[in-house]
A and B are shown apart, each in its own frame.
Chain A
């Protein structure tokens, strides 16, 4: 499904980033990093438009030739970014939403682990497992 999943802290440094093993892993890091500007823009646009709904899910951030980038931001300003292959047209908005929800749930569990230091990178195996689950299923 996803080709790259990233969790980015409030201060915009990555807490967790994983992509499918390819030669150009760096490209995904770059894509995710670029998307942060769009996230910022979407957050600050809140309250200015009339039909403003302050949902955590930000929707499609931007499409590129090969990939689609989706964003999600929690109330604690942690950002989740999912990059999906553009060729995968069968993927619905609903599925992306549920992926983010799953991601958020397990991120919350990580945060509630008393041994985890908020702000440190995520090293949880359970979290790893959830991410792997999202990466492998090819639709």
Chain B
């Protein structure tokens, strides 16, 4: 648990910093999200290299997604994804009923529009991890009720 607090603080500060430094220039929401996403991407790439060091080779795409839901999520957020759904045509929905990075926010509807800021980094994280495993994807996230959120992974066929 102790190693988790620094990550959360850093993540919060990161968001603060990025949004603050862009305030004077055109407050462009999209660009900030992209910045956060790209940071996540690079970290995801490095992280997956570490985590898959001692695992067997993956069979297929589903095998990879399961790894993301279990081992990857556990190592970053100390819990597994609660629900993984797929249409078997390249779309996966990862549902986390108590997403760590939204944990400190009020559970009401008050901060709902702030949520995308807190999800961008993680979207990048997942995208980076998948891309390093040879799966090109688009990852988006949505929140309906506060600590729960859904990540949608769309696999790009080459």
Contacts and interface: CB of A to CB of B under 8 A. Distances in A.
Place the interface of chain A in its size category: 20 to 34
Contacts of B57: 43, 46, 54-56, 73, 75
Interface stretch (A28-36, A80-88, A104-112, A121-129): A104-112
A26 B83 CA distance: 52
B109 interface: no
Given A54-B58, A75-B55, A77-B133, 4 more contacts: A47-B59, A54-B59, A112-B50, A114-B46
Contacts of B25: none
A131 to B, nearest CB: 18
A74 B59 contact: no
Nearest to B51: A75
A53 interface: yes
A104 B53 contact: yes
Main secondary structure, interface of A, reads: loop
Interface string B26-69: 00000000000000001001101110110111110000000000
A63 interface: no
Contacts, number: 50
B56 A108 contact: no
A132 B132 CA distance: 27
Interface string A96-139: 00000000110110011010001000000000000000000000
B6 interface: no
B58 A75 contact: yes
A89 interface: no
Given A108-B49, A111-B49, A118-B45, A54 B56 contact: yes
Contacts of B56: 53-56
Nearest to A78: B49
A77, A114, A118 pick with most chain B CB within 10 angstroms: A118
Nearest to B134: A77
